[in-house]
């Protein structure tokens, strides 16, 4: 059942899963931080982090759009920060970052983003990232 989903009545869900969903709503609606949302709903942060990517309303899952950027950068101070600032500026949310150890003053970085609320296309974002100093290559290696 990998990547399969079931619709289950809220009345039949274990209480912890329902509280994770409520905490996620608290965070998205009121801007509450994770600790406060967990405290309000009566769950631990570990329970929240364990289930947060697996408990959602159907409409929440449908609207998420993700992409992975593969970025080749020179090993210079502040380069990754400038890349992340551009992504953030366009209202995309960084989900995951992987950077290998620089070799010969070059590093490869994979950045997974949620661009469902972004104010530009992936192509525009890629072009803007490519124009940053010390960024020599940007590719969108996956998107959904």
pLDDT of residue 111: 95
- Which of 61, 86, 102 delimits the end of a domain? 61
pLDDT of residue 57: 77
**Taking the complete model, does pTM exceed 0.85, yes or no?**
no
Q: Give the integer Cα–Cα distance in Å for 132 and 87.
A: 12
Counting the structural domains of the chain, the total is 2
pLDDT at 60 over 70: no
pLDDT band at 139, cuts 50/70/90? very high
Q: Are 115 and 134 contained in the same domain?
A: yes
CATH no. for residue 132? 3.30.70.260
Tell me which residue range forms the domain holding 71.
66-143
108-118: buried (b, 16+ CB within 10 Å) or exposed (e) per residue? ebebbbbbeeb
pLDDT band at 30, cuts 50/70/90? confident
pLDDT of residue 39: 95
Q: Are 48 and 110 contained in the same domain?
A: no
pLDDT band at 83, cuts 50/70/90? very high
Q: Are 132 and 76 contained in the same domain?
A: yes
Residue 4 domain flag: no
Residue range 60-64: mean pLDDT, rounded: 60
Q: Are 86 and 112 contained in the same domain?
A: yes
Q: Are 57 and 91 contained in the same domain?
A: no
pLDDT band at 96, cuts 50/70/90? very high
pLDDT band at 78, cuts 50/70/90? very high
């Amino acid at each position: 059942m990998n990547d399969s989903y079931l619709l289950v009545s809220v009345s039949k869900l274990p209480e912890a899963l329902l509280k994770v969903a409520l905490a996620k709503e608290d965070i998205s609606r009121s801007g509450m931080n994770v600790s406060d949302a967990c405290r309000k709903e009566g769950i631990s942060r570990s329970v929240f982090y364990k289930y947060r990517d697996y408990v959602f309303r159907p409409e929440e899952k449908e609207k998420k759009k993700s992409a992975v950027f593969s970025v080749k950068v020179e090993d210079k101070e502040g380069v990754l920060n400038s890349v992340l600032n551009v992504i953030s500026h366009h209202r995309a949310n960084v989900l995951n970052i992987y950077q290998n150890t620089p070799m010969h003053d070059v590093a490869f970085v994979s950045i997974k983003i949620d661009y469902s609320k972004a104010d530009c296309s992936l192509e525009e974002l890629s072009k803007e990232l490519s124009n940053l100093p010390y960024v020599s290559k940007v590719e969108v290696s996956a998107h959904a």
